[in-house]
Structure 1
């Protein structure tokens, strides 16, 4: 398990244990703060510090590969040298394509987990929701099929614990396509409030989002690139795990504290 204390990686560890895994090795840069469950072997290391990886990879059969572009070629090479047989990578298209390409070119068995928008990214509106019932957004009409991090982790654990996934690329989405305005309205419903959405210029949006994120300009530009896209939800989560993906309304109802 690389990225074992990251947002998704930590959940993968829990789902592996719940699925009966008995030999989990977790890579973390700060073992003293890992707080991982009993029975997990904790090893110190970091994908960005490749010198720490040979010892960590020793004795590993299957690896969950967290996304890190900067060292992907070295990481994959070291994994092969260590005798790792299968890599399950969290990657995707566009910006993340080099990860999938490096894993495929390694000659090892591979499974790609391609994901899009996380439901948790809705916290981009937290500051505004706390301050007002009117939410300003540059592209309220943009649609996506947001997925929870926990659903991604459930799929990753299932793939790692079962056979028949070699050479597969799984598109992991939430169960429905929603506009950004749809999601804002559903957060309002969960809070017992009526939230309205006002479209603003990209410059105003960057100014708003820059209050809470360092990458506001990139975020607004990336969101704008999705105008006109009509995404189709997949049934991958349900097909692989036997339980449906979490709806955004369910996530919002369970996470109202994020917006209060």
Structure 2
């Protein structure tokens, strides 16, 4: 069975490649714009291509049965059409859930057999607080009571790899909301990072403007879009056990993720 991983040098795609190898997948293709810099394992076939240029995908898709798709908005419809034309039998798409409904709608409309993954906030996003934690052990936060259940990129990749290597029938046309094991307020997330790195972390309520000024050097103009999600008064996220149900291993907690990435905060 030939599996193509798009975005294979990205934060999640690269982890998908590693988990596919762990699960025993033998014929893995990795789509990358620059194979010489990809540093992929020798057992993986690096294919030159870029989702932003759909015509570059034709060779990559030849003979492929399953695809991990990290949607590229501008060319998603064309990419899906090429996959269907190539005879791809199953797509696992990181569609992004509620905030990226256009991705999910396009995958559904494609007619390709598929499963979609809709994670909420990534644990990795909270590296945005690293400088504050390193320097003051205090996080300035305008929405400390907003509740989320962050999931790690590695857990998302594990789910994708299990779906790509297992029977597809139980998962066809499903959208799986992926979360961490526990819903926490943003204030509690900061505290759990402290637990993970062995340093007490406190939270100081601040204005949105103050928080944007602190985070703009890290997040750029995306900081405004990010805080818009919370200012709109979204419903508290509810944690689930989808990661464990799909992989057999529980999702990483916020404290566990922080412990594994402690150097970022010290």
> Which TM-score band (shorter chain)?
over 0.9
Deviation at 1:74, TM superposition (A): 0.6
Give the Cα–Cα distance (whole angstroms) in 2 for the partners of residues 100 and 57 of structure 1. Answer: 21
Deviation at 1:17, TM superposition (A): 1.0
Q: TM-score scaled to structure 1, two decimals?
A: 0.96
Give the Cα–Cα distance (whole angstroms) in 2 for the partners of residues 221 and 205 of structure 1. Answer: 12
Q: Report the CA distance shift for 1:228/1:105 in structure 2 as closer, same or farther (over 3 A).
A: closer
Counterpart position of 2:180: 174
Counterpart position of 2:211: 205
Q: What secondary structure, in the 3-state scheme, does the structure 2 residue paired with 1:223 have?
A: helix
For residue 227 of structure 2, the aligned residue among 207, 220, 223 is: 220
Asked whether the equivalents of residues 4 and 10 of structure 1 are also in contact (C-alpha less than 8 Å), the reply is yes
Give the Cα–Cα distance (whole angstroms) in 1 for the partners of residues 239 and 227 of structure 2. Answer: 23
Structure 1 gap ranges (5+): none
Q: What secondary structure, in the 3-state scheme, does the structure 2 residue paired with 1:210 have?
A: helix
Give the Cα–Cα distance (whole angstroms) in 2 for the partners of residues 67 and 234 of structure 1. Answer: 24
Counterpart position of 2:70: 66
Q: TM-score scaled to structure 2, two decimals?
A: 0.93
Moved over 4 A (4+): none
Q: What secondary structure, in the 3-state scheme, does the structure 2 residue paired with 1:87 have?
A: strand
Give the Cα–Cα distance (whole angstroms) in 1 for the partners of residues 97 and 201 of structure 2. Answer: 33
Higher helix share: 2
Counterpart position of 1:250: 256
- What's the CA shift string for 1:97-124, capped at 9, x where partnerless? 1222111111110101111011111111
Q: Does 1:14 align with 2:21?
A: no
Q: What secondary structure, in the 3-state scheme, does the structure 2 residue paired with 1:24 have?
A: strand
Give the Cα–Cα distance (whole angstroms) in 2 for the partners of residues 194 and 62 of structure 1. Answer: 45
